[in-house]
Chains A and B, each alone.
Chain A
Amino acid sequence: MPPTGPARRGRGRGRGATTREPIASRSSLSSRINNGPMPTRSGSSPLIHLQVTGWTDSAAVKTTENTSTLIRALTQWLERKARVIQDKLPQHAGIQKRGNVRIRKSKVEKDVLHIYVTAEDSTAFSKLDGYEYAQATINIRAIGGSRPARDSPARSPAPGQAAFSFKSNKETESLKETLRQLLTTRYDAETKVLNFSNIGEEPDVKELLKQPNNTTTKLFAALCAVFEDVFPTPEARKEAVTGIILSNNGWHSASIARPLALEFPDIQNLDLSNNKIGGIDGVSHFRRCLELQHIILSGNPIEQTAEFKKDVLRAFPKLALVDGAVITPADREGIQIHGATPKISPGLFEDTTGLGAKFLQTFFAGFDTDRTTLLNYYYDKNSTFSYAVNNQSLRDPSAPKPRKGEWDAWIYNSRNIWTLTSAGVRKSRLHKGSRSIGESFKTLPPTQHASSEDASKWLVESVPISGLRDPSGQSPNGVNGLTITIHGEFFEHPTNSNKRKHRSFDRTFILGPGGNNPDGVGIISDMLVVRSYGGTKAYETGAQVAMSPEEERAAMVAEIMRQTGMNLQYATMCLEQTEWKFDTALESFNQAKANIPPEAFVQ
Chain B
Amino acid sequence: MTDFEAVAKQFVTFYYDTFDKNRADLSALYKDHSMLTFEAQPTQGTGAIIEKLASLPFAKIQHRVDSLDAQPSNETGGILVMVTGALLIDEEQRAMMYSQTFQLQPDGAGSYFIFNDVFRLVYPA
Contact = CB atoms under 8 A, between A and B. Distances in A.
A568 interface: yes
B74 interface: yes
Given A418-B9, A508-B82, A348 B42 contact: yes
Interface stretch (A22-30, A134-142, A433-441, A521-529): A521-529
Nearest to B77: A467
A567 B120 CA distance: 21
Interface string B28-43: 0000000101011111
Nearest to B44: A568
Given A390-B66, A461-B120, A538-B121, A531 B84 contact: yes
B80 A483 contact: yes
Contacts of A487: 99, 120, 122
B84 A537 contact: no
A393 interface: yes
B80 A468 contact: no
A551 B99 CA distance: 21
A561 B44 CA distance: 13
B76 A467 contact: yes
Interface string B79-102: 010101110000000010101010
Interface of A: 346-348, 384, 386-394, 396, 415-418, 423, 426, 430, 459, 461, 463, 465-469, 477-478, 483, 485, 487, 504, 506, 508, 510, 524-525, 527, 529, 531, 534-535, 537-538, 541-542, 551, 554-555, 557-558, 561, 567-569
A527 B122 contact: no
Given A527-B71, A558-B40, 4 more contacts: A384-B71, A387-B69, A527-B82, A534-B123
Contact of A506 (B72, B73, B82): B82
Given A415-B69, A510-B80, A468 B75 contact: yes
A326 to B, nearest CB: 26
A483 B42 CA distance: 14
A506 B121 CA distance: 11
Contact of A392 (B8, B41, B66): B66
Nearest to A385: B71
Contact of A418 (B43, B66, B75): B66
14 contacts: A346-B40, A388-B82, A417-B69, A418-B68, A459-B122, A461-B118, A485-B120, A487-B122, A506-B84, A534-B97, A537-B123, A568-B35, A568-B44, A569-B44
A389 B82 CA distance: 12
A391 B35 CA distance: 30
Contacts of A538: 97, 120-124
